[in-house]
Amino acid sequence: MELTGSQILMECLKEQGVDTVFGFPGGAVLYIYDELFRQKDNFTHILTSHEQGASHAADAYSRSTGRTGVCIATSGPGATNLVTGIATAYMDSVPMVAITGNVLVSLLGKDSFQEIDVTGVTAPITKHNYIVRDVNDLADVIREAFYIANEGRPGPVLIDIPKDVSINKAPYEYKVPRPIIRETKNFTQEDLEKVVKMIEESEKPYIFAGGGVTISDAKEEAVHFAELVQAPVTCSLMGMGGFPGQHELYTGMIGMHGTKASNIGVQNCDLLIAIGARFSDRVTGNTAKFAMNAKVIHIDIDPAEINKNVSVDHFVIGDVKEILLQLNTMLHKQHHEPWLEEIKTISKNYPLVYPEGLTGQYAIEKLYELTNGDAIITTEVGQHQMWAAQYYKFKDPKMFITSGGLGTMGYGTGAALGAQAGNPGKLVVNIAGDGSFRMNLNEMITAVRYNLPIKVMVINNCVLGMVRQWQTIFYDNRYSFTHLTDINYDSLADAFGCKAVNITTKEDVEPLLKKALEMEGPVIINVVIHMDEMVYPMVAPGAPIDDLITE
Q: What is the pLDDT of residues 224-280, one digit of tens each?
A: 999 999 999 999 999 999 999 999 999 999 999 999 999 999 999 999 999 999 999
**Which helix (DSSP H) or strand (DSSP E) does residue 518 occupy?**
helix 506-518
pLDDT at 503: 98
Contact between residue 70 and residue 99 where contact means Cβ atoms under 8 Å apart: yes
pLDDT at 453: 98
- 68 vs 275: CA distance, rounded Å: 23
pLDDT at 368: 98
Domains and CATH numbers, the chain: 2-171 (3.40.50.970), 189-349 (3.40.50.1220), 360-536 (3.40.50.970)
Residue 534 pLDDT exceeds 90: yes
pLDDT at 195: 98
CA distance to 108, 150, 397, 427, per residue, from 301 (Å) = 38, 13, 18, 32
- In our burial notation (b when 16+ CB lie closer than 10 A, e otherwise), range 272-299 reads bbbbbbbbbebbbbbeeebbeebbbbbb
- The alpha carbon of residue 443 and the mean position of all alpha carbons in its chain are separated, in whole angstroms, by 18
Contact between residue 153 and residue 1 where contact means Cβ atoms under 8 Å apart: no
Least confident of 105-114, 156-165, 211-220: 105-114
Alpha helices in 73-169 (DSSP H): 77-80, 83-91, 118-122, 138-150, 163-167
- Report the relative pairing of strands 156-162 and 548-549 from DSSP bridges: unpaired
Give catalytic residue positions: 51, 113-114, 163, 466
- 9 vs 12: CA distance, rounded Å: 5
**Which helix (DSSP H) or strand (DSSP E) does residue 515 occupy?**
helix 506-518
- 407 vs 381: CA distance, rounded Å: 6
- 528 vs 460: CA distance, rounded Å: 5
- Supply the mean pLDDT for the chain: 97
User: Region 372-390: what's the mean pLDDT?
Assistant: 98
CA distance to 283, 290, 308, per residue, from 546 (Å) = 11, 9, 22
* Cis preceding-peptide flag for 537 (omega within 30 of 0): yes
Cβ partners under 8 Å of residue 495, min gap 6: none
Whether the full predicted model's pTM is greater than 0.85, yes or no, is: yes
